[in-house]
């Protein structure tokens, strides 16, 4: 792959005026390193393919099994709800943290402090057992009469509890990610918007947010990928997401390794899709920041083919 670039003959520049020929420098150690790494890669592939204990046929059998696909869907659902609710709440927390009102600042700080400090698994168990704390949940006037009341068990299903736990945990991190994004925007941008008399909400949506996104997206991508895997913690609530589901299957049929492999492959697939999406989102928000945008992999591939054809 990269090897071909190293051995391809570098263009030899000749200066007709002086008759000099430029001879490219040789890199013998690059050859040695290439050989060593190539052997190691071959060994790794060999170990994966030839050892029957990996049990690839079983992996193939379960990879697209309906129960696995359903669990992947639940994992995806938990991730999407967790990140959307998490970042929505996180943005509110970030705005509160940057507010001039000391109470709003203090509440936001305290929230982040608590939800970043308590392990996720512990928070999930709290939400799961919410009914032990509060038997009913009512809606009405604060400290006044209650209009409707629900049993906690009916209102907070295990899935709701899981989404709540993941989203509230995520919000604490998202708040800091969003705040960092806004701090990175040049204050001159807001000053110019204020001098032009642009309304406050429009300043936020049109001037601040798009520029903050440049800083927010890479870290948010990290958080999203973290959350895909973080959903596996939810197995303690006996929700049949991916990790719980493979455990259920391997305790029944005893094929531990291939089923763990099935889960690993699906997590890899999900994060790959998200990484690709992140690349294009980042590229979108890079408008105007560089003189030319970096090429997409597709453009790079086409350019490579064109060069190869010449």
Partner 1 sequence: MSTPMVELRGVHKSFGALDVLRGVDLTVRPGEVTVLLGPSGSGKSTLLRAINHLEKVDKGFVLVDGELMGYRRSGTRLHELPERHVLRRRTHIGFVFQSFNLFGHLTVLENVVEAPVSAQRRDRAEATAHARELLDRVGLSDKADEYPRRLSGGQQQRVAIARALALRPKLVLFDEPTSALDPELVGEVLDVMRDLARTGTTMVVVTHEIGFAREAADTVVFLDAGRIVEQGPPAQVLDSPREERTRAFLGAVRH
**Sites of contact with partner 1 (CB under 8 A):** 186, 188-189, 191-200, 202, 206-207, 210-211, 285, 287-291
Residue among 204 and 279 whose Cβ is closer to partner 1: 204
Comparing CB distances to partner 1, the nearer of 25 and 195 is 195
In whole angstroms, give the CA distance from residue 214 to residue 39: 40
Q: Which is closer to partner 1, CB of 70 or CB of 283?
A: 283
Phi/psi for 150 (5° steps) reads -125, 150
Are the C-beta atoms of 161 and 127 separated by less than 8 Å? yes
- Nearer residue to partner 1 within complex by CB, 100 or 132: 100
CB burial of 164-191 (b: ≥16 within 10 Å; e: otherwise) equals: bbbbbbbbbbbbbbbbebbeebeeeebe
Q: What six digits make up the tokens of 49?
A: 């393919």
3-state SS track over 201-214 = HHHHHHHHHHHHHH
Both tokens assigned to 25: 């420098």
Least CB distance from residue 207 to partner 1, whole Å?
A: 6
Q: Which is nearer to partner 1, 135 or 206 (CB)?
A: 206
């Amino acid at each position: 792959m990269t090897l071909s670039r190293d051995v391809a003959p570098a263009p030899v520049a000749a200066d007709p005026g002086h008759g000099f020929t430029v001879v490219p420098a040789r890199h013998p150690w690059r050859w040695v390193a290439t050989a060593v790494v190539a052997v190691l890669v071959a060994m790794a592939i060999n170990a994966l393919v030839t050892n029957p204990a990996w049990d690839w046929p079983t992996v193939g059998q379960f990879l697209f099994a309906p129960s696995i696909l359903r669990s992947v869907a639940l994992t995806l659902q938990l991730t999407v709800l967790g990140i959307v609710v998490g970042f929505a709440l996180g943005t509110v927390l970030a705005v509160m943290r940057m507010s001039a009102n000391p109470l709003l600042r203090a509440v936001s700080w305290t929230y982040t402090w608590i939800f970043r400090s308590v392990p996720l698994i512990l928070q999930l168990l709290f939400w799961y057992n919410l009914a032990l704390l509060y038997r009913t949940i009512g809606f009405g006037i604060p400290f006044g009469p209650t209009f409707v009341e629900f049993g906690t068990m009916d209102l907070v299903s295990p899935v709701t509890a899981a989404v709540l736990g993941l989203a509230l945990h995520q919000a604490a991190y998202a708040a800091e990610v969003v705040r960092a994004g806004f701090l990175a925007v040049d204050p001159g941008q807001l000053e110019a918007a204020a001098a032009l008399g642009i309304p406050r909400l429009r300043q936020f949506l049109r001037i601040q947010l798009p520029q903050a996104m440049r800083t927010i997206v890479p870290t948010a991508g990290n958080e999203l990928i973290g959350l895909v895997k973080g959903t596996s913690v939810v197995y303690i609530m006996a929700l049949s997401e991916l990790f719980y589901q493979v455990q259920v299957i391997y305790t029944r049929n005893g094929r531990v390794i291939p089923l763990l492999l099935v889960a690993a492959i699906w997590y890899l697939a999900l994060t790959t899709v998200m990484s690709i999406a992140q690349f294009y989102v980042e590229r979108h928000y890079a408008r105007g920041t560089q003189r030319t945008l970096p090429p997409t992999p597709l453009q790079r591939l086409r350019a490579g083919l064109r060069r190869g054809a010449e």
